[in-house]
């Protein structure tokens, strides 16, 4: 194929059995299971197992997997020492990429990734999958305390992934509803076909780099506002609007000036993102739980979606997963610059699933280019120019 396609839009880059989506109907599936069913009935641990191993686990298999995750939540003190010397003003995603990139130095074993494209040590693949997924939440939570001059909160083995994550972030046992909502958020963000960060993971993994390097490359890609950073921008946008009464005028002016309505639109979906549907449901559930005492930003968001449906809906532009996720996180007391790290924690399950799939029949990525520069020229010595 020699045709240049900007952004590789629509160009198949791999074959995968991990997830699929129908953008016209708004259906996203993990291994054939609808995301709406998983978000409502599954857990992050079960969903991660499904993505990584290909099938829903039995009760015994899930118990073993969950136990491994719980026993691997602690990180080496060396990683904490590295984090201590990072500037507290830096973005948490920069910290996360640095910390994850260092993990391979403390958990060696990538020598089993041979030039044949397969890993002879399947235990290494499984152990690093569990270790990386388990420690992501710990690293993110550690930073929240360290950058505020406090000691990190140690993980607890008597809590599930989502509940423990909230506990480590706040230092307090979370409201059970908050834990269930966080669990649903982790499920919803865990995988989404070959997006930018997953493609970065595939490219890195195709070189037979260590899994921590694969995840670090994906984290760096996710950090961009056009990918994982949009939910933070949504909150800033809603705060700028200020009131539901201001939505119509703000939207009209923004569209007239060709501005960005953050949280709207997706390259694949031509209807409302099914993940946004679930997140809005969880926000409504939280509002009922709090007797209506939630941030006024939610009402602004609902009004913006209503007005956006009139002006943008006919163009196939609807709310995506970022539109409501930031509001939910903020309601649970999570700082806005931690929204994308939470995305990364969840998406690690998908990244590692793709890494493992890549190893089965690996071929290094080496796309070509369409050269538009100068043709062969004669070199002119400096004193003759």
Tell me the per-residue pLDDT of 273-319, one tens digit each, with 9 for 90 and over: 999 999 999 999 999 999 999 999 999 999 999 999 999 999 999 99
Q: What is the share, in percent, of the chain residues with pLDDT greater than 90?
A: 81
Tokens of 350: 């998908």
Q: What is the CATH number of domain 230-331?
A: 1.10.230.10
Closest C-alpha to 336, from 186, 247, 230 = 230
| pLDDT, averaged across the chain | 92
Packing angle of the helix pair 122-146, 211-222 (nearest 10 deg): 40
Question: What is residue 9's predicted lDDT score, i.e. its pLDDT?
Answer: 80
Query: Is the pLDDT assigned to residue 116 strictly greater than 70?
Result: no
Question: What is residue 359's predicted lDDT score, i.e. its pLDDT?
Answer: 87
Tokens of 242: 């200020």
Q: Which of 178, 189, 266, 318 is catalytic?
A: 266
Helix (H) or strand (E) holding 27: strand 27-30
Q: How many CA atoms lie within 13 A of 370 on its CB side?
A: 7
d(CA 277, CA 256): 28
Q: How would residue 109 be classed by pLDDT, with cut points 50, 70 and 90?
A: low
Please calculate the CA angle 178-183-184 and round it to the nearest 5 degrees.
Answer: 100
Question: What is residue 112's predicted lDDT score, i.e. its pLDDT?
Answer: 60
Helix (H) or strand (E) holding 21: strand 19-22
Closest C-alpha to 51, from 345, 344, 350, 343 = 350
Q: How would residue 2 be classed by pLDDT, with cut points 50, 70 and 90?
A: low
Q: Which of 66, 183, 273, 322 is catalytic?
A: 322
Query: Is the pLDDT assigned to residue 111 strictly greater than 70?
Result: no
d(CA 68, CA 209): 24
Q: How would residue 17 be classed by pLDDT, with cut points 50, 70 and 90?
A: very high
123 part of the active site: no
Taking only Cα atoms into account, the Rg of the chain, rounded to an integer number of angstroms, comes to 22
Query: Is the pLDDT assigned to residue 24 strictly greater than 70?
Result: yes
Tell me the per-residue pLDDT of 218-253, one tens digit each, with 9 for 90 and over: 999 999 877 877 888 899 999 999 999 999 999 999
For 384, residues 6+ apart whose C-beta sits below 8 A from its C-beta are: none
Tell me the per-residue pLDDT of 52-106, one tens digit each, with 9 for 90 and over: 999 999 999 999 999 999 999 999 999 999 999 999 999 999 999 999 999 988 8
pTM: 0.92
Question: What is residue 151's predicted lDDT score, i.e. its pLDDT?
Answer: 94
d(CA 297, CA 336): 14
Listed range (6-15, 203-212, 295-304) with the worst mean pLDDT? 6-15
337 part of the active site: no
H helix runs in the chain, sequence order:
35-41, 44-53, 59-71, 77-84, 92-106, 122-146, 161-170, 176-189, 196-206, 211-222, 230-241, 247-256, 274-289, 297-311, 322-331, 339-360
Using CA of residue 189, residue 195, residue 196, residue 197, what is the dihedral sign? positive
Question: What is residue 183's predicted lDDT score, i.e. its pLDDT?
Answer: 97
The CATH superfamily label for domain 16-216+337-360 reads: Citrate Synthase, domain 1 (1.10.580.10)
Task: Locate CATH 1.10.230.10 in the chain.
Answer: 230-331
Task: Locate CATH 1.10.580.10 in the chain.
Answer: 16-216+337-360
Tell me the per-residue pLDDT of 120-167, one tens digit each, with 9 for 90 and over: 566 788 888 999 999 999 999 999 999 999 999 999 999 999 999 999
d(CA 351, CA 225): 19
């Amino acid at each position: 194929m020699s045709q240049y396609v900007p952004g590789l839009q629509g160009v198949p880059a791999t074959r995968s059995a991990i997830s699929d989506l129908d953008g016209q109907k708004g259906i996203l599936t993990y291994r054939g299971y609808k995301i709406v069913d998983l978000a409502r009935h599954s857990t992050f641990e079960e969903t991660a197992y499904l993505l990584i191993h290909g099938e829903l686990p039995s009760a015994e298999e899930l118990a073993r997997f969950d136990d491994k995750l719980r026993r691997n939540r602690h990180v080496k003190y060396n990683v904490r020492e590295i984090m201590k010397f990072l500037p507290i003003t830096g973005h948490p995603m920069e910290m996360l990429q640095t910390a994850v990139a260092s993990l391979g130095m403390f958990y060696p074993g990538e020598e089993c990734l041979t030039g044949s494209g397969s890993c002879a040590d399947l235990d290494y693949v499984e152990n690093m999958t569990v270790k990386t997924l388990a420690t992501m939440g710990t690293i993110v939570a550690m930073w929240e305390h360290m950058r505020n001059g406090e000691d990190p909160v140690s993980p607890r083995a008597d809590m599930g992934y989502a509940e423990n994550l909230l506990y480590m972030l706040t230092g307090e046992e979370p409201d059970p509803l908050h834990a269930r909502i966080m669990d649903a958020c982790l499920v919803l963000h865990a995988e989404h076909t070959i997006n930018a960060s997953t493609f970065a993971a595939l490219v890195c993994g195709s070189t037979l780099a260590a899994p921590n390097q694969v995840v670090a490359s994906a984290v760096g890609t996710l950090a961009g506002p056009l990918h994982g950073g949009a939910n933070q921008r949504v909150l800033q946008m809603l705060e700028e609007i200020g009131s539901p009464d201001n939505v119509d005028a703000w939207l009209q002016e923004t569209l007239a000036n060709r501005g960005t309505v953050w949280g709207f639109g997706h390259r694949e979906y031509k209807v409302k993102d099914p993940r946004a549907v679930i997140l809005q449901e969880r926000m409504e559930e939280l509002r009922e739980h709090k007797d209506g005492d939630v941030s006024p930003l939610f009402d602004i968001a609902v009004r913006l979606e209503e007005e956006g449906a009139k002006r943008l809906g006919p163009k196939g532009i609807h709310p995506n997963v970022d539109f409501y996720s930031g509001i939910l996180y903020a309601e649970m007391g999570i700082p806005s610059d931690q929204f994308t790290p939470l995305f990364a924690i969840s998406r690690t399950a998908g990244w590692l699933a793709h890494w493992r799939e890549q190893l089965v029949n690996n071929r290094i990525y080496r796309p070509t280019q369409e050269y538009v520069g100068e043709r062969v020229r004669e070199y002119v010595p400096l004193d003759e120019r």
